[in-house]
Structure 1
Amino acid sequence: MKILTVTGYKGGVGKSTTAVHLATYFSEKGKTVLVDGDPNRTSVGWASRGSLPFTVADERQAMRLVPGANYVIIDTPARPNSDDLKELAKGCDLLVLPTAPDVLSLQPMLETARDLGTAQYRALLTIVPPYPSREGELMRKDLKDGGVPVFETMIRRTVGFAKAALAGLPIRDLNEERIKAAWADYQALGDEIMEVLK
């Protein structure tokens, strides 16, 4: 069983969206459970509005559902303290830290990296403005220069994620070709995670 934990110091950076889409990616590889540990229950709400290709449970139901899963994705509350963050890192194979490519997110991410030390984690740039903006690339360089391991894949900003959440579906299952390009970002991220987990 592989366990991925999605967490971060800031809310509103696509944490639950990332958890849902990583669970969608891994559901194509094996039995996947998404554990919604966020008090907002965003992932549980997403699942209740439609149909997701994996099981979603809150942390009270997880003990019953996790055995036998190949992949477990954990969506945590935003803003864990540094001790919680270290414990989260110990309890999983990879910590995924979504962050927006803006100057206000840079400092919290550098602090997170300092708190995590040698733990197995990667920063993920989300809500990245489309080309010709270079905000994503610049932030990725700043993080790397600060010693933060960063995914090469960046998740582009699109209204499609809000539409997917409202429909209770992963973005790959929406019937809008233009929006489905965003699914390619999460496929590339999943491929990158598979390499890290090897």
Structure 2
Amino acid sequence: MEERTLAEGCRNGDGAAQRELYDRYAGRLLAVCLRYAGDRATAEDLLHDAFLKIYGAFSKFEYRGAGSLRAWMERVTVNVALEWLRTRNRLGCVELDEGRAAALPDEPSAEEASRVPRDVLMRFVSELPDGYRAVFNLYCIEEYSHREIAQMLGINEKSSSSQLFRARTLLARRIRDYLKTH
């Protein structure tokens, strides 16, 4: 079924269209949930909540060409995950000391990072503290600015920058440790 037809079917409550939508996008959206939740059981709960929200919000979806349905569904899913983090006070903002702000993490090169399997990298991201993980995902994967992240998470821009710095530092350390032993 073509994306536009699939969206119209879901908008009209067509069960077959809703099943196809789930079958087509559940894996991708579960990966989004995993990036924010950190564990599979919570990610599956978030996926369920995201699909309920998606099915209930089709009146707000506007088809804008190929890929717009997937992009909209990913945005809804990210918002569900962020709401889960906010309502559980899981963002744990930590300000970065001004004196340490200029220091950059000793990040591995792209070649070094490419030697780490994707599933290992994703595990490292999933093991980050919730706030660090949320900011890392929003900045590095979703490509939001610190101003946008601050608005989304209800924190200030400095906290967003601080959490990204700390996430990158932890990830760099984990990658370096992995490369020493593999």
Instruction: Report the TM range for the smaller structure's normalisation.
Output: under 0.3
Greater helix share, structure number = 2
Greater Rg, structure 1 or structure 2? Answer: 2
Greater strand share, structure number = 1
Q: TM-score under structure 2 normalisation?
A: 0.27
